[in-house]
Amino acid sequence: MNIQKSYVQPSEGEAAGKLYLVGTPIGNLEDMTYRAVRVLGEVQWIAAEDTRQTRKLLTHFDISTRLVSYHEHNKNASGPELIRLLQSGDSIALVSDAGLPAICDPGADLVRMAVDAGIAVVPIPGANAALSALIISGLPTDRFAFTGFLPRDKKPLERELAVLKRERGTWICYESPHRLVKMLSVMQEVLGADRDICLVRELTKKYEEAVRGTIAECLEHLETYPPQGEYCVVVRGDEMAGEDTDAAWWASLTPEQHVAKYESEGISHKEALRQAAQDRGVPKRELYNALHRE
């Protein structure tokens, strides 16, 4: 068990280094918070995904804190060194190129290392593309999931979408402009042409745009207006999934057959267990125990 009290003063002789996860603008520099500017100026180090990009931000806000590189390709070497600095008493601010760090970037690995080392990890909230897209989409927000970037290759993408097809809540993914049409075409095959989605691009920037409609309508729109900029894709969930257990497609199946059906679609045993448990409205551990009972 690990219990963190972020603002309790350390005992005399203890290191006071903290890892701050600092949200930065996703486009509009006016979205930088006063607290983020203060923290970036007070810490001893700023660990940045792209030091060149971050240096532009620091110059704009007249911040002279030392920069160090931390990204996917050097995390194995840089991560332990950052932990050593934290343990020695230095505080570090972790930033990504845009938005909140540790989401779809190696910052999550550094957070795990810090937690394991007993170092306080403190969030400094800021802009986030996925949540910004969700709240302007017009789709339900009471239950939602974030899936990051979906697989590039068609077969893995189909398998992932087969799982998401039964997701009850709204879900959000990121996609690049040159892969968007391909991804939506596969999505149309798996989810159906009439599933409601919202394509959001260039958030907080001059050309911010939200295209709302069915998958088929959005694909037609992109034929006339080719994708430009990075996209957040917001997808309406299947709100009826798991609602009527008597009429459910799996109602006549045993738990073993239910899990096996998902596995036959190319889904891993672990994911098949999770999805079958969600369908049946039972904890995954309960279903696991039922299937593996001697």
Better-scored residue on pLDDT, 251 or 103: 103
Q: How confident is the model over 28-87, as pLDDT tens digits?
A: 999 999 999 999 999 999 999 999 999 999 999 999 999 999 999 999 999 999 999 999
Mean pLDDT, all residues of the chain? 91
Give the number of other CB atoms < 10 A from CB of residue 181: 15
- C-alpha to C-alpha distance for 210 and 216, rounded to whole angstroms: 16
Q: Which residues contact 95 (CB under 8 A, 6 or more apart)?
A: 22, 24, 40, 46, 47, 48, 49, 54, 57, 101
Which burial class, exposed, middle or buried, applies to 294 when counting CB atoms under 10 A from its CB (0-12, 13-18, 19+)? exposed
Helix (H) or strand (E) holding 121: strand 120-124
Band of pLDDT at residue 179, cut at 50, 70 and 90? very high
Has residue 282 got a pLDDT over 80? no
Asked if 198 contacts 236 with a C-beta cutoff of 8 angstroms, the reply is: no
Asked if 140 contacts 169 with a C-beta cutoff of 8 angstroms, the reply is: yes
Domains delineated in the chain? 18-127 (3.40.1010.10), 130-235 (3.30.950.10), 242-294 (no CATH)
Asked if 65 contacts 47 with a C-beta cutoff of 8 angstroms, the reply is: no
Q: How confident is the model over 1-34, as pLDDT tens digits?
A: 888 988 877 665 566 799 999 999 999 999 999 9
- C-alpha to C-alpha distance for 269 and 127, rounded to whole angstroms: 36
Handedness of CA 122, 110, 267, 192 (dihedral sign): positive
Kindly state the average pLDDT of the residues 136-162: 93
- C-alpha to C-alpha distance for 86 and 122, rounded to whole angstroms: 13
Nearest to 4 by CA among 91, 90, 118: 118
Percent of the chain clearing pLDDT 90 (strictly above): 71
Better-scored residue on pLDDT, 270 or 127: 127
The pTM is what? 0.80
Q: How confident is the model over 191-241, as pLDDT tens digits?
A: 999 999 999 999 999 999 999 999 999 999 999 999 999 999 999 999 876
